[in-house]
Amino acid sequence: MKFKIDVELKYRVATDSTLILNIHALKTAHQKVLSESFKTSLDIKIEELNSVQGEHRFVRLEIPKTNHIGISYQATVDNSFTIKDYTMVPELKIAKLSPEILTYLYPSRYCQSDKLYNMANNLFGHIENDFNKVIAISEWIYKNVKYLGGASNSQTSALDTLVEQAGVCRDFAHLGIAFCRALTIPARYFTGYAYQLNPQDFHACFEAYINGDWVLFDATKLAPLNGMVKIATGRDAADTAFGNLFGDINFTFCKISCDTEEENFEPFHQQEQGHQGISYA
Protein backbone atom coordinates (compact mmCIF):
# COMPACT_ATOMS: atom_id res chain seq x y z
CA MET A 1 0.00 0.00 0.00
CA LYS A 2 1.19 3.48 -0.79
CA PHE A 3 1.72 6.13 1.83
CA LYS A 4 2.81 9.73 1.59
CA ILE A 5 4.94 10.96 4.43
CA ASP A 6 5.46 14.61 5.17
CA VAL A 7 7.66 15.72 8.05
CA GLU A 8 8.68 19.16 9.17
CA LEU A 9 11.13 19.60 12.05
CA LYS A 10 12.74 22.64 13.61
CA TYR A 11 15.72 22.96 15.89
CA ARG A 12 17.31 25.86 17.72
CA VAL A 13 21.09 25.61 17.44
CA ALA A 14 23.12 27.62 19.93
CA THR A 15 26.55 26.14 19.18
CA ASP A 16 28.09 24.20 16.34
CA SER A 17 26.27 20.90 16.62
CA THR A 18 25.88 17.50 15.10
CA LEU A 19 22.40 16.15 14.50
CA ILE A 20 21.77 12.54 13.62
CA LEU A 21 18.27 12.01 12.30
CA ASN A 22 16.61 8.68 12.00
CA ILE A 23 13.43 9.68 10.17
CA HIS A 24 13.86 8.20 6.69
CA ALA A 25 11.54 5.42 5.67
CA LEU A 26 13.54 2.20 5.74
CA LYS A 27 14.19 0.40 2.47
CA THR A 28 13.47 -3.31 2.66
CA ALA A 29 12.29 -6.07 0.38
CA HIS A 30 8.77 -5.25 1.54
CA GLN A 31 9.00 -1.50 1.76
CA LYS A 32 9.97 0.43 -1.34
CA VAL A 33 10.69 4.12 -1.20
CA LEU A 34 9.25 5.31 -4.49
CA SER A 35 10.44 8.85 -4.09
CA GLU A 36 11.82 10.97 -1.30
CA SER A 37 13.18 14.38 -0.59
CA PHE A 38 15.19 15.61 2.37
CA LYS A 39 15.93 19.31 2.71
CA THR A 40 17.31 21.69 5.28
CA SER A 41 16.86 25.43 5.55
CA LEU A 42 20.64 25.88 5.66
CA ASP A 43 23.06 25.02 2.95
CA ILE A 44 24.96 22.26 4.72
CA LYS A 45 26.26 18.83 3.87
CA ILE A 46 23.78 16.00 4.29
CA GLU A 47 25.44 12.68 4.95
CA GLU A 48 23.41 9.53 4.70
CA LEU A 49 24.54 6.48 6.66
CA ASN A 50 23.24 2.96 6.90
CA SER A 51 23.52 0.74 9.90
CA VAL A 52 25.47 -2.46 9.51
CA GLN A 53 22.52 -4.75 9.76
CA GLY A 54 20.17 -2.58 7.75
CA GLU A 55 17.78 -1.64 10.56
CA HIS A 56 18.25 2.12 10.14
CA ARG A 57 18.97 4.84 7.71
CA PHE A 58 20.67 7.79 9.39
CA VAL A 59 21.20 11.28 8.18
CA ARG A 60 24.01 13.19 9.83
CA LEU A 61 24.14 16.96 9.71
CA GLU A 62 26.88 19.27 10.90
CA ILE A 63 25.10 22.46 11.76
CA PRO A 64 26.90 25.72 12.41
CA LYS A 65 25.85 27.94 15.29
CA THR A 66 22.73 29.62 14.00
CA ASN A 67 19.35 30.62 15.18
CA HIS A 68 17.23 27.93 13.75
CA ILE A 69 17.31 25.13 11.27
CA GLY A 70 14.26 23.74 9.55
CA ILE A 71 14.20 20.25 8.12
CA SER A 72 11.69 18.74 5.78
CA TYR A 73 11.29 15.19 4.60
CA GLN A 74 8.78 13.89 2.09
CA ALA A 75 8.50 10.36 0.85
CA THR A 76 6.18 8.13 -1.05
CA VAL A 77 6.45 4.59 0.18
CA ASP A 78 4.95 1.38 -1.07
CA ASN A 79 4.95 -1.37 1.49
CA SER A 80 3.41 -4.75 2.04
CA PHE A 81 2.65 -6.93 4.97
CA THR A 82 1.48 -10.42 5.67
CA ILE A 83 -1.39 -11.41 7.90
CA LYS A 84 -1.29 -14.98 9.14
CA ASP A 85 -3.05 -17.24 11.55
CA TYR A 86 -0.73 -18.02 14.46
CA THR A 87 -3.04 -20.46 16.22
CA MET A 88 -0.70 -23.38 15.86
CA VAL A 89 2.70 -21.94 16.55
CA PRO A 90 5.31 -24.52 17.48
CA GLU A 91 7.38 -23.74 20.54
CA LEU A 92 10.35 -21.46 20.02
CA LYS A 93 13.65 -23.33 19.90
CA ILE A 94 16.48 -21.29 21.30
CA ALA A 95 18.68 -23.82 19.63
CA LYS A 96 17.48 -22.71 16.21
CA LEU A 97 17.82 -18.96 16.57
CA SER A 98 20.51 -17.16 14.67
CA PRO A 99 22.82 -14.83 16.57
CA GLU A 100 21.10 -11.70 15.23
CA ILE A 101 17.86 -12.88 16.77
CA LEU A 102 19.43 -13.96 20.06
CA THR A 103 20.38 -10.32 20.63
CA TYR A 104 16.71 -9.50 21.04
CA LEU A 105 16.43 -11.85 24.00
CA TYR A 106 18.81 -9.83 26.14
CA PRO A 107 17.88 -6.89 28.35
CA SER A 108 18.54 -3.38 27.09
CA ARG A 109 18.55 0.14 28.50
CA TYR A 110 14.81 0.65 28.64
CA CYS A 111 13.71 -3.00 28.66
CA GLN A 112 15.13 -4.60 31.82
CA SER A 113 13.68 -8.02 31.16
CA ASP A 114 16.13 -9.59 33.60
CA LYS A 115 14.08 -8.11 36.46
CA LEU A 116 10.75 -9.38 35.17
CA TYR A 117 11.07 -13.17 35.01
CA ASN A 118 8.76 -13.78 37.94
CA MET A 119 6.18 -11.20 37.00
CA ALA A 120 6.09 -12.18 33.33
CA ASN A 121 5.68 -15.81 34.28
CA ASN A 122 3.04 -15.06 36.87
CA LEU A 123 1.02 -13.02 34.43
CA PHE A 124 1.58 -14.84 31.15
CA GLY A 125 3.54 -18.03 31.77
CA HIS A 126 0.46 -20.24 31.85
CA ILE A 127 -0.64 -19.22 28.35
CA GLU A 128 0.19 -21.73 25.67
CA ASN A 129 1.50 -20.51 22.37
CA ASP A 130 3.89 -17.60 22.03
CA PHE A 131 1.49 -15.60 19.92
CA ASN A 132 -1.22 -15.78 22.54
CA LYS A 133 1.31 -14.80 25.18
CA VAL A 134 2.19 -11.63 23.30
CA ILE A 135 -1.47 -10.82 22.65
CA ALA A 136 -2.03 -11.14 26.38
CA ILE A 137 0.97 -8.90 27.11
CA SER A 138 -0.32 -6.28 24.72
CA GLU A 139 -3.82 -6.40 26.20
CA TRP A 140 -2.48 -6.24 29.75
CA ILE A 141 -0.53 -3.11 28.92
CA TYR A 142 -3.46 -1.56 27.11
CA LYS A 143 -5.72 -2.17 30.10
CA ASN A 144 -3.32 -1.23 32.88
CA VAL A 145 -1.16 1.56 31.53
CA LYS A 146 -2.80 4.92 30.99
CA TYR A 147 -1.82 6.74 27.81
CA LEU A 148 -0.79 10.12 29.17
CA GLY A 149 1.38 12.67 27.42
CA GLY A 150 3.98 14.08 29.77
CA ALA A 151 3.86 11.11 32.12
CA SER A 152 7.31 10.01 31.07
CA ASN A 153 10.56 11.38 29.68
CA SER A 154 13.55 10.17 27.74
CA GLN A 155 14.89 8.32 30.79
CA THR A 156 11.71 6.42 31.57
CA SER A 157 12.17 2.67 31.36
CA ALA A 158 9.87 -0.36 31.28
CA LEU A 159 10.24 -0.75 35.04
CA ASP A 160 9.08 2.81 35.65
CA THR A 161 6.12 2.29 33.35
CA LEU A 162 5.24 -0.98 35.00
CA VAL A 163 5.19 0.63 38.43
CA GLU A 164 3.66 3.98 37.57
CA GLN A 165 1.29 2.65 34.88
CA ALA A 166 1.24 5.72 32.71
CA GLY A 167 3.18 6.67 29.61
CA VAL A 168 3.25 7.21 25.87
CA CYS A 169 3.75 4.90 22.87
CA ARG A 170 7.47 4.56 23.60
CA ASP A 171 6.75 3.35 27.12
CA PHE A 172 4.05 0.92 26.01
CA ALA A 173 6.48 -0.59 23.53
CA HIS A 174 9.31 -0.87 26.06
CA LEU A 175 7.14 -2.69 28.54
CA GLY A 176 5.88 -5.06 25.86
CA ILE A 177 9.42 -5.87 24.82
CA ALA A 178 10.58 -6.40 28.39
CA PHE A 179 7.77 -8.87 29.12
CA CYS A 180 8.44 -10.79 25.89
CA ARG A 181 12.15 -11.16 26.59
CA ALA A 182 11.42 -12.20 30.16
CA LEU A 183 9.40 -15.05 28.62
CA THR A 184 12.27 -15.88 26.22
CA ILE A 185 10.46 -14.46 23.23
CA PRO A 186 12.77 -12.24 21.13
CA ALA A 187 11.32 -8.75 20.83
CA ARG A 188 12.42 -5.46 19.33
CA TYR A 189 11.41 -1.83 19.14
CA PHE A 190 9.74 -0.52 15.99
CA THR A 191 9.52 3.15 15.05
CA GLY A 192 7.53 4.44 12.18
CA TYR A 193 4.86 6.63 10.72
CA ALA A 194 1.33 5.51 11.44
CA TYR A 195 -1.65 6.22 9.22
CA GLN A 196 -4.69 7.49 11.16
CA LEU A 197 -2.64 8.19 14.27
CA ASN A 198 -4.27 11.13 15.98
CA PRO A 199 -2.62 13.47 16.66
CA GLN A 200 0.10 12.67 14.16
CA ASP A 201 3.57 12.09 15.55
CA PHE A 202 6.38 9.59 15.31
CA HIS A 203 4.98 6.31 16.53
CA ALA A 204 6.52 3.36 18.37
CA CYS A 205 5.35 -0.25 18.63
CA PHE A 206 7.09 -3.56 19.14
CA GLU A 207 7.72 -6.71 17.21
CA ALA A 208 7.92 -10.20 18.67
CA TYR A 209 9.68 -13.03 16.90
CA ILE A 210 7.11 -15.76 16.44
CA ASN A 211 7.63 -18.80 14.31
CA GLY A 212 10.21 -17.05 12.17
CA ASP A 213 8.24 -13.82 11.67
CA TRP A 214 8.61 -10.46 13.31
CA VAL A 215 4.98 -9.92 14.26
CA LEU A 216 3.92 -6.36 15.04
CA PHE A 217 2.02 -5.39 18.21
CA ASP A 218 0.81 -2.01 19.38
CA ALA A 219 -0.31 -1.94 23.00
CA THR A 220 -1.57 1.62 22.61
CA LYS A 221 -4.15 0.58 19.98
CA LEU A 222 -3.89 4.12 18.65
CA ALA A 223 -3.46 3.25 14.99
CA PRO A 224 -4.25 0.38 12.63
CA LEU A 225 -1.41 -2.11 12.40
CA ASN A 226 -1.60 -2.21 8.60
CA GLY A 227 -0.92 1.50 8.23
CA MET A 228 2.68 1.58 9.42
CA VAL A 229 5.68 2.85 7.51
CA LYS A 230 8.81 1.51 9.16
CA ILE A 231 11.63 3.88 10.02
CA ALA A 232 13.80 1.59 12.11
CA THR A 233 13.97 -1.35 14.43
CA GLY A 234 16.32 -1.77 17.34
CA ARG A 235 16.73 -3.08 20.85
CA ASP A 236 14.84 -0.13 22.27
CA ALA A 237 14.58 3.65 21.94
CA ALA A 238 18.28 4.03 22.73
CA ASP A 239 19.01 2.57 19.29
CA THR A 240 16.29 4.29 17.37
CA ALA A 241 15.79 7.83 18.65
CA PHE A 242 14.48 9.89 15.73
CA GLY A 243 17.06 12.53 16.66
CA ASN A 244 20.39 12.28 18.44
CA LEU A 245 21.69 15.71 19.35
CA PHE A 246 25.31 16.60 20.05
CA GLY A 247 25.94 20.20 21.06
CA ASP A 248 23.66 22.91 22.37
CA ILE A 249 20.81 22.13 20.05
CA ASN A 250 17.13 21.83 20.92
CA PHE A 251 14.12 20.35 19.26
CA THR A 252 11.45 23.04 18.92
CA PHE A 253 8.82 21.97 16.42
CA CYS A 254 7.42 18.92 14.69
CA LYS A 255 4.65 18.43 12.16
CA ILE A 256 4.01 15.05 10.62
CA SER A 257 1.52 13.60 8.24
CA CYS A 258 1.10 10.09 6.95
CA ASP A 259 -1.60 9.66 4.34
CA THR A 260 -2.66 7.21 1.74
CA GLU A 261 -4.42 7.58 -1.57
CA GLU A 262 -5.85 4.10 -1.42
CA GLU A 263 -9.59 4.27 -1.50
CA ASN A 264 -10.51 1.24 0.47
CA PHE A 265 -8.20 1.04 3.43
CA GLU A 266 -9.54 -1.49 5.88
CA PRO A 267 -7.91 -0.97 9.24
CA PHE A 268 -6.47 -4.06 10.88
CA HIS A 269 -6.42 -3.97 14.67
CA GLN A 270 -5.14 -6.68 16.93
CA GLN A 271 -8.03 -8.47 18.55
CA GLU A 272 -7.93 -9.58 22.17
CA GLN A 273 -9.02 -13.05 21.18
CA GLY A 274 -7.61 -12.96 17.69
CA HIS A 275 -5.24 -15.39 16.06
CA GLN A 276 -4.24 -13.17 13.17
CA GLY A 277 -0.89 -11.46 13.38
CA ILE A 278 0.67 -9.00 10.99
CA SER A 279 4.28 -8.79 9.95
CA TYR A 280 6.20 -6.43 7.72
CA ALA A 281 8.92 -8.54 6.24
**C-beta separation of 158 from 178 below 8 A:** yes
Name the residue nearer to a copy of itself (CB basis): 149 or 267: 149
Compute the least distance from the CB of residue 135 to a copy of itself, in Å: 19
Amino acid letter at 212? Answer: G
User: What's the min distance (Å) between Cβ of 240 and a copy of itself?
Assistant: 10
Decide whether 58 or 265 has the Cβ nearer to a copy of itself.
Answer: 58
Nearest distance from C-beta of residue 44 to a copy of itself, angstroms: 11
Rank residues 45 and 67 by Cβ distance to a copy of itself and give the closer one: 45
Rounded CA separation 54/131 (Å): 26
Query: Nearer Cβ to a copy of itself, position 71 or 258?
Result: 71
Shortest distance, position 128 Cβ to a copy of itself, whole Å: 18
DSSP 55-124: S-EEEEEEE-S-SEEEEEEEEEEEE--EEEE-TTPPPP-GGG--HHHHGGGS-BTTB-GGG-HHHHHHHH
* Of residues 4 and 235, the one with the C-beta less far from a copy of itself: 235
Contacts with a copy of itself by CB under 8 A lie at 18, 20, 47, 49-53, 56, 58, 60, 62, 94-95, 98-100, 102-103, 105-109, 111-112, 114-116, 118-119, 122, 143-144, 146, 154-155, 159, 162-166, 184, 238-239, 241, 244, 246
Spell out a b/e string for 198-236, using b for 16 or more CB atoms within 10 Å of the CB, else e: eebbbbbbbbbbbbebbbbbbbbbbbbbbbbbbbbbbbb
The least CB distance from residue 187 to a copy of itself, in Å, is 14
Strand partners, 245: 19
- Shorter beta-carbon distance to a copy of itself: residue 83 or 102: 102
**How far apart are CB 81 and a copy of itself at their closest, in Å?**
25
Are 116 and 197 in contact by the 8 Å Cβ rule? The answer is no
Decide if 195 contacts 257 (C-beta within 8 A).
Answer: no
